[in-house]
Amino acid sequence: MRLERLKRALPYGVLLAAGFYLFYMANRIEYFAPPGRIGPDAWPKIVISLLVAASVYGIVRALTRSSPEDRHEEAVVDAPLEDPEPPVAVEPEKTYPGLLLLGILATLAYVALVRTLGFFLATSAYLIAFMIIGRYRNWAVIFSTGIIGSLLMMFFFMRVVYVSLPIGSEPFSAVTLMLMKLMGIK
């Protein structure tokens, strides 16, 4: 049982080692950020830190939780010798390959259209389409999440991390430029 847990923890250990190596390499990025701004080395370090944290979580989880096979073995050992109830047939979980294909196509359309529509319009449409494809049907939540989520991402990328986003081509760029003006983005 211990060997099985170590086997489950091994991939997370590999990721943890890779994370430490990548963080070491990210520390070698030489850049002097202007005051009040983060440098180009910040984002790799943040992402790598998340990788390290997720790996540590995965290791702890793999070492402390029993697997379904372990639980099955424990259940077999603890089960009474006579089983009074017949086994119940379990229906297979429903899958939706058509919806998966639509999600992939929506993602490809987003990539193809983001330069033409601009980040805000393309991302809003993508988020809304993805929620509809995912069979969510609360329209107020769908549209408010799509629009507000896109605005928040636009603000975060352009005002906090200073990433240049596509503004789109005419006439769509007018929407992006108006939003940038309202957010105080130059």
The tens place of each residue's pLDDT in the chain, 186 residues long, gives 678 888 889 999 999 999 999 999 988 888 776 776 677 777 788 889 999 999 999 999 998 887 666 666 666 666 666 666 777 777 888 888 999 999 999 999 999 999 999 999 999 999 999 999 999 999 999 999 999 999 999 998 888 777 888 989 999 999 999 998 888 877
User: Which of 64, 83, 105 lies at the terminal end of a domain, its last residue?
Assistant: 64
Domain span holding position 128:
97-183
Residues 101, 57 share a domain: no
Domain count along the chain? 2
Are residue 57 and residue 112 in the same domain, yes or no?
no
Q: Is residue 90 in some structural domain? A: no
Regarding whether 179 and 121 lie in a shared domain, the answer is: yes
- Same domain for 43 and 105? no
Q: Is residue 173 domain-shared with residue 107, that is, in the same domain?
A: yes
Supply 25's token pair.
């390499």
